[in-house]
Chain A
Amino acid sequence: MTFVLVALGAGVAVSVELLEALAIVLAVGVSRRWADALIGAAAATVVCAALAGLVGPVLLHSVPLDALRVTIGVLLLLYGLEWLRKGTLRLAGRRSRSSSLAEYLETQEQLDDLPPPAPGQPDWAARLVAFKGVLLEGVEVVLIVSALASRPSGPGPALLGAGLATAAVLGAGVWLRRPLARIPETELKWGVGVLLSTFGVFFTAEGLGVDWPAGDLALLYIAFVLAATSQVQAHWLAREPARA
């Protein structure tokens, strides 16, 4: 069961991050030139791959097992609770919903203000926008997948989930050449927040010497309690009028 939950957590986290990166690259490609968009994205991918090559082995080889569990747990809690906080506020209507399409349109608008690229000359502005977009989302992907893959039981499920998600998002991007407007990103991100926070609590406690009642099944009741707390607070905030 842990295998499935880790693969699911990594897969959904990677797919929502890549959707945002893809929206930016598509906007650059459509508004400027595809070659410059792809060069910027490729450069950022190389930087992210180098970071992944550094972070994973450092976590695995230089930190003792219990300290590793606490480190991974705290890292996952940092990401998970941030996503869960934003997700709860979005579900309560206290924050705008997450949308790759909005990001796509915003990037297109930014690029429209720039002068068009000269023929035969590299379009550095477009490359930089694509690079920055992919790098920022990619670093989050690297940190989340590295944390999930550094579990003592092995990197298999995290890498499988991340690989499937990457293939799915890139395939959709190449096929549609537009961001996927109908994906419920707010709910997906909220779900990722619940999963990452669940793993964060589970691993941190294990690192501190806790034997969870019911073993790995604890993941289910931790997820339930986190999700229920967030939903109750979202409903309560949604009913309470926002004070100006």
Chain B
Amino acid sequence: MSTLRTLKKLILGETWLLPVGIAIVVATTALLVRPLAGTAWHRVGGLVLLAGVLGVLAISVARGARPRASISPLAGGRWWVAWRSGLRERS
């Protein structure tokens, strides 16, 4: 299990957000934007891809800056996270 986790971290990084985001951006630009853009694709396609990549970067950084889990049952509604967190703090 730990070897698989290390391998995943090595190839895909620490978060699923980046590989999934990159896959969505590349697939959308290749399969959706390219046919719709027609001849304009050769000139603007790169900028569309760049905009998508910037979006993925901004979202992944924003997610990385957030605390991992809400420990307030009222704020996040995740009472079990709060309960487990409380247990960990007590131990």
Using CB atoms and an 8 Å cutoff, list the residues of chain A in contact with chain B: 70, 74, 77-79, 81-82, 84-86, 88-89, 92, 94-95, 136, 139-140, 143, 197, 200-202, 204-205, 208-213, 218, 222, 225-226, 229-230, 233, 237, 242-244
A211-B42, A243-B66 given; 12 more Cβ-contact pairs under 8 Å: A74-B26, A81-B18, A81-B22, A81-B53, A85-B61, A88-B61, A201-B49, A202-B46, A204-B49, A209-B42, A218-B46, A237-B65
When chains A and B are docked, how far (Å) is the Cα of A233 from the Cα of B13?
A: 20
Query: CB distance A212 to B46 under 8 Å?
Result: yes
State whether B42 touches A89 (Cβ < 8 A). no
**Are B49 and A237 in contact (CB-based, < 8 A)?**
no
A74 CA to B52 CA in the complex, in Å? 13
Q: How far is the CB of B88 from chain A (nearest CB, A)?
A: 15
Whether the Cβ atoms of A81 and B46 lie closer than 8 Å is no
Chain B residues 1 to 40 lying within 8 A of chain A, measured CB to CB, are 6, 10-15, 18-19, 22, 26, 29-30, 34
With CB as the reference atom, state the residue of chain A lying closest to B19: A78
Chain B residues lying within 8 Å of A200, measured Cβ to Cβ, are 53
Verify B65–A205 contact, CB threshold 8 A.
no
Instruction: Report the separation of the CA atoms of residues A73 and B11 in the bound assembly, to the nearest whole angstrom.
Output: 14
- Determine whether the beta carbon of B42 is less than 8 Å from that of A210: yes
Complex interface: chain B residues within 8 A of A208 (CB): 29-30, 34, 45, 49
- Cross-chain contact A244 with B67 (CB below 8 angstroms): yes
User: Which residues of B lie under 8 Å from residue A78 when comparing CB positions?
Assistant: 11-13, 18-19, 22
Chain B residues in 8 Å Cβ range of A85: 13, 15, 18, 57, 60-61, 64
Residues from chain A with Cβ under 8 Å of B15 in the complex? 85
Residues in A with CB closer than 8 Å to B60 are: 81, 85
Q: Which residue of B lies closest to A233 (CB)?
A: B61
Taking CB as reference atom, which chain B residue is nearest A75? B11
Specify which chain A residues have a CB less than 8 angstroms from the CB of B6 in the assembled complex.
136
Bound: A78/B53 CA distance, A: 11
Residues on B with beta carbons closer than 8 Å to the beta carbon of A209: 34, 41-42, 45
Q: Would you call B57 and A226 a contact (CB within 8 A)? A: yes
> In whole angstroms, how far apart are the Cα atoms of A97 and B20 in the complex?
26
Residues of B within 8 A of A244 (CB): 67
* Complex contacts, B64 vs chain A, CB 8 Å: 85-86, 89, 94-95
A136 pairs with B22, CB closer than 8 A: no
**CA of A209 to CA of B34, assembled, Å:** 9
Residues of A near B41 (CB, < 8 A) are 209-210
Cα of A241 to Cα of B60 in the assembled complex, Å: 18
Given A81-B18, A208-B34, also A225-B65 (CB < 8 A): no
User: Does any Cβ of A come within 8 Å of B43's Cβ?
Assistant: yes
- Alpha-carbon distance A216/B30, docked complex (angstroms): 21
Q: Given contacts A85-B18, A242-B65, are A233 and B46 in contact (CB under 8 A)?
A: no
Identity of the chain B residue whose Cβ is nearest the Cβ of A89 in the assembled complex:
B64
Chain A residues with CB below 8 A from B45, complex form: 205, 208-210
